[in-house]
């Protein structure tokens, strides 16, 4: 959610910090600020609103010390304001802190500090940190940070500057990502690789309860209890061009059009066509442990949760294994039953989703083997699970997930094949699924070629403030995901339903002012969905259909039709998702919404 960036070296610090913040804009934020060591003081500039506002407020000068930290804030405690923006200074003005996370015991700490004469200037939980560190400072900023963080309950990714130690940045994490970038006579530190990848490919990931002491030509990593730790240096395998718009108006549109390639990347090298089976190197499907699995739990949030629901249909239908899909935020506060033959999958695009991480840890505490499906190499989920699979979608900048969703579906199909072929799935059916998967990229291109047609349909409906999405079977989760995309980026109230459930309440809403998007592609229950469309039309509802090519009769029943190529039913969620993404995108543009950075949302939700 919030973004943090720090730099120490020989380059112009202001430029690097601002560039880093701009790379983090996609995470979602409402204010921004920087702190730079400037001779005898820490110079702090903060502004409510966009980074452009901050940039205009920064003095046009060269700072003697090229060391600073910066932050984009997504409000939790206290409304968006200049006072509540980070960085926060200590009571003596000598220590500056930026913080991503939530300090759960901040009220207790604040009362204690106030009783000692400390006055607070913001409503945030984060402001207790610089005051605590200053209280413990006795000539060593490293030790002061360690002592302060031992008092803290909650989550944090922090960077710390100290006026009395002008050649050091301290970074620390617990539950909120921090990554160190290694340069030549310079060091970078941030909450996200995208902020620093244009300067270095060599990075070190901090784990929970670790900190780093950063100088321009060296670093030390250690635990919060001062034990030295040797960390592995990772090399990033993507470049800055992948996080540029490449001529598209928005990142979201670029990422929608990247899906023929990202879908192929998700299955490339993972299909054994002659055997009708998949291979995922990070998941030991051939082990005796996996042969005993008789129940699967999939845990996720948001769009990843809807991908998980498709996974439930796939695994139960094809592999005939019972599956439960859980919201991560609920799983962690229940008493989930984990049996000896249960395996858990956690799904997260970023690999840093706070609720999903907490659920992962709860599952492991209960003795489960946990496997991850994520996009970000080296993310916390990738490091803390027993294994897993990357979706290889490349950096996804748009807050509303598109290419990551379809890539997650591809990996879930591969997981299903691996489970299915070891038991009930025939070789011939496995080959049929793999051949269909191999053909998908070209079929996705056929859908993308209809972008102008979809745009015209969006023009017709963009002024409506409500919408209903209907699907059945494999495409019920697609209806949920389509509705989510519309509400996320265009602020239209949209709900997804199993089509038959419409009669149990939502049908009361149907009239000429309620557009209904119906997914009515070829399936074993297509006639049932057509009956549900007829119920909508009987009440003067307007229907936009996602239908299979060649279904001419659907035009007589529906107001508008978007045709998609014919695919086998288990693959239909992927192909049917693409037009819904474009439909939501064009409506958001026509409603003059900030497509890539929807209000109140963040790309990586790292707080509860």
The strand pair at 210-215 and 169-174 is best described as antiparallel
Q: How far apart are CA 310 and CA 89, in angstroms?
A: 48
Tokens of 607: 């707080």
> Using N-to-C axis directions, what is the helix angle for 403-421 and 259-267, rounded to 10°?
30
The strand pair at 271-272 and 31-38 is best described as unpaired
With residue 330 as reference, give the H or E element that holds it: helix 328-331
Tokens of 116: 């000692």
Question: E strands along 63-149, which residues?
Answer: 67-73, 88-89, 95-100
- What is the end-to-end Cα distance of the chain in Å, rounded? 11
Residue among 2, 301, 558, 593 flagged as catalytic = 2
CA angle 288, 292, 296 (to 5 degrees): 125
Q: How far apart are CA 215 and CA 67, in angstroms?
A: 9
Cα torsion angle, 91, 97, 98, 100, sign: negative
Tell me the sheet residues that pair with 15. none
Q: How far apart are CA 43 and CA 34, in angstroms?
A: 8
2 phi-psi bin (left φ>0, alpha ψ -120 to 50, beta other):
beta
DSSP letters spanning 357-387: HHHHHHHHHTT-EEEEEESSTT-HHHHHSSE
Q: Which of 296, 240, 282, 311 is nearest to 390 (CA)?
A: 282
Q: How far apart are CA 293 and CA 370, in angstroms?
A: 12
H-assigned helices in 212-258 = 251-257
Residue among 110, 254, 369, 603 flagged as catalytic = 603
Classify 225 as helix, strand or coil: coil
Classify 236 as helix, strand or coil: coil
Q: Which of 2, 3, 4, 6 is nearest to 219 (CA)?
A: 6
Judge whether 2 counts as a catalytic residue. yes
Tell how far CA 536 is from the center of its chain.
35
Tell how far CA 124 is from the center of its chain.
24
| Residue 506 buriedness (CB in 10 A; 0-12 / 13-18 / 19+) | middle
Supply φ then ψ for residue 489, to 5 degrees: -105, -20
Q: How far apart are CA 104 and CA 230, in angstroms?
A: 30
List, by residue number, the catalytic residues.
2, 603
């Amino acid at each position: 959610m919030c973004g943090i960036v720090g730099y120490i070296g020989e380059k112009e610090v202001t430029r690097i910090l601002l560039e880093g913040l701009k790379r983090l804009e996609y995470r979602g934020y409402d204010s921004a600020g920087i702190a730079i060591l400037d001779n005898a003081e820490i110079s702090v500039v903060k502004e409510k609103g966009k980074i452009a506002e901050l940039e205009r407020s920064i003095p046009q000068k060269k700072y003697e010390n090229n060391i600073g930290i910066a932050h984009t804030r997504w409000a939790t405690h206290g409304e968006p304001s200049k006072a509540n923006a980070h960085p926060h200074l200590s009571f003596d003005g000598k220590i500056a802190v930026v913080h991503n996370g939530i300090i759960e015991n901040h009220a207790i700490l604040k009362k204690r500090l106030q009783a000692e004469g400390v006055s607070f200037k913001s409503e945030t939980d984060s402001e207790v940190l610089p005051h605590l560190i200053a209280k413990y400072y006795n000539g060593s900023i490293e030790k002061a940070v360690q002592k302060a963080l031992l008092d803290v309950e909650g989550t944090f990714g922090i960077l710390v500057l100290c006026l009395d130690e002008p050649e050091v940045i301290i970074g620390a994490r617990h539950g909120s990502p921090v990554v160190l970038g290694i340069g030549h006579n310079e060091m970078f530190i941030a909450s996200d690789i995208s902020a620093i990848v244009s300067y270095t490919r060599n990075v070190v990931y901090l784990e929970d309860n670790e900190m780093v002491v950063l100088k321009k030509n060296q670093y030390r990593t250690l635990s919060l209890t001062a034990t030295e730790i040797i960390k592995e240096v990772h090399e990033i395998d993507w470049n800055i061009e992948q996080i540029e718009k490449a001529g598209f108006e928005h990142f979201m549109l670029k990422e929608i059009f990247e899906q023929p390639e990202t879908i192929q990347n998700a299955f490339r090298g993972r299909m054994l066509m002659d055997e009708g089976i998949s291979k995922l190197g990070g998941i030991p499907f051939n082990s005796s442990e996996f042969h005993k699995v008789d129940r699967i739990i999939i845990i996720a949030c948001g769009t990843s949760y809807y991908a998980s629901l498709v996974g439930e249909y796939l695994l139960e239908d094809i592999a005939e294994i019972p599956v439960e899909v859980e919201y991560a935020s609920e799983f962690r506060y229940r008493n989930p039953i984990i049996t000896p033959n249960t395996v858990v999958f956690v799904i997260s695009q970023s690999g840093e989703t706070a609720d999903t991480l907490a659920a992962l840890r709860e599952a492991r505490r209960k003795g489960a083997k946990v496997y991850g499906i994520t996009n970000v190499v080296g993310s916390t989920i990738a490091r803390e699970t027993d294994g897993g699979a990357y979706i290889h979608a490349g950096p996804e900048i748009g807050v509303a997930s598109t290419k990551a969703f379809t890539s997650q579906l591809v990996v879930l199909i591969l997981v299903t094949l691996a489970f299915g072929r070891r038991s009930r799935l025939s070789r011939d059916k496995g080959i049929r699924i793999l051949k269909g998967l191999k053909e998908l990229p070209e079929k996705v291109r056929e859908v993308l070629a209809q972008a102008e047609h979809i745009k015209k349909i969006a023009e017709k409906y963009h002024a409506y403030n409500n919408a209903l999405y209907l699907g059945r079977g494999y495409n019920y989760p697609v209806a949920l995901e389509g509705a989510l995309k519309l509400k996320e980026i265009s602020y239209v109230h949209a709900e997804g339903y199993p089509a038959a459930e419409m009669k149990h309440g939502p049908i009361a809403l149907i009239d000429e002012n309620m557009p209904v998007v119906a997914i009515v592609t070829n399936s074993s229950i297509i006639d049932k969905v057509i009956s549900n469309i007829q119920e909508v039309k009987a009440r003067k509802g307007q229907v936009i259909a996602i239908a299979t090519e060649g279904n001419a009769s659907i035009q007589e029943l529906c107001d508008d039709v978007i045709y998609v190529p014919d695919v086998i039913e288990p693959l239909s969620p992927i192909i049917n998702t693409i037009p819904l993404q474009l439909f939501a995108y064009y409506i958001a543009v026509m409603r003059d919404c900030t497509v890539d950075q929807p209000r109140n949302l963040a790309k990586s939700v790292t707080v509860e």
